Amino acid sequence: MISDIFQLRPLRPTDILDILIIWVVLYNLFRFIRGSRALQMAFGLLALFMTQIIAQRFNLVVVSETIGSLFSIIPIAIIVLFQDEVRRVLASIGTSPWAKANMTESTYLDRIFQAVHHFSQNRTGALIVFEGHDGLKNYMDSGTQLDALPSFELLLDIFEPKSRLHDGAVIVSGSRLASAGCVLPLSANQALPRTFGTRHRAAIGITEETDCLALIVSEETGRISFAQDGEIHRLTENTLSQIYQVYKGLMSSEDEQRSEILASLSRIKLPKSWESVPKPVEEDELEENTKNTEQTGRRGGGRRKKNKNPKEITPVSAKTSTQRK
């Protein structure tokens, strides 16, 4: 078909420019609909188009005319079924590339990690998923669409325990909060500890299916965890700051650069697994003091009540020195 066009007249520089423009438009359109229902519909339209070509080639008049009549109403169907996607495409066309660069280089990621620290200190449960190379559009559709700039106050409102979005996940796409209250698939891994709650299992489940990254804040302990490739790790201040630097480059990059940036996470020295992480010293001392208290209570003819405040428990070193005296 292209060769027939070229036979009509000699190839001119404007023809090459024409082809390049169409290629750029189709390429950006594919990038935009990747990971969404629109991509599935695009493959369906391509299948219909190929079917019509085959029908015309073998003179299947009825099939060819039927598919041709469908193509006449498909543009209207696309506008009706994909109103949000069409609106976003038109809005992105009118967005200045310089304004977009300034947005990605701002402090949006600082606000996200500031909120994560706040959740950890106040033991507020949270699950934040960062979209990688694989699209998460289907999971975004399960929640409440936001398409908002990340802010500390907005995240506090979303994960407020009384909020209806509290139990779902927030999905970050590029430099924006795409959706909140999203339902994620739970991991079917039977080897996971029984202490894992829904947030941890959902974080593992979504990272098993896609190349996204998930930050989890435990509501019971306030610990910050990190899930990638179906594995979960407890985070220290050092590893959290390294992940912060990786995400900072991720949010200011184009889609084709994201896979390389995500690969740099493998160079961060994380614990091998959740079970292999040593417990903090305070927990070890607390457990040892609890055992000693129970043993002393049995020897004295009764069992002492456990102290609900860990700070009031006698430290191990002080108790040992008293026994020596």
For the chain, what is the total number of helices (H) and then of strands (E)? 14, 7
Is the predicted pLDDT of residue 5 greater than 90, yes or no?
A: no
Tokens of 149: 């700039």
Q: Which domains does the chain carry?
A: 2-93 (no CATH), 106-267 (3.40.1700.10)
pLDDT of residue 129: 92
Mean pLDDT of 281-305: 43
Give residue-wise pLDDT tens across range 70-92: 888 877 877 777 776 676 666 66
Rounded to 10 degrees, the C-alpha dihedral 244/249/252/257 comes to -140
Query: 108: how many CB neighbours lie within 10 A of its CB?
Result: 19
pLDDT of residue 180: 93
Give me the half-sphere count of Cα atoms (radius 13 Å) on the Cβ side of residue 87. 6
Is the predicted pLDDT of residue 139 greater than 80, yes or no?
A: yes
Give residue-wise pLDDT tens across range 97-118: 444 444 444 467 778 888 888 9
Q: How far apart are CA 71 and CA 92, in angstroms?
A: 27
pLDDT of residue 299: 47
CB burial of 23-55 (b: ≥16 within 10 Å; e: otherwise) equals eeeeeeeeebbebbebeebbeeeeeeeeebeeb
212, 205 Cβ separation under 8 angstroms: no
Is the predicted pLDDT of residue 96 greater than 50, yes or no?
A: no
Mean pLDDT of 11-23: 83
Mean pLDDT of 144-166: 89
Give residue-wise pLDDT tens across range 222-251: 888 888 888 888 776 666 666 666 665 554
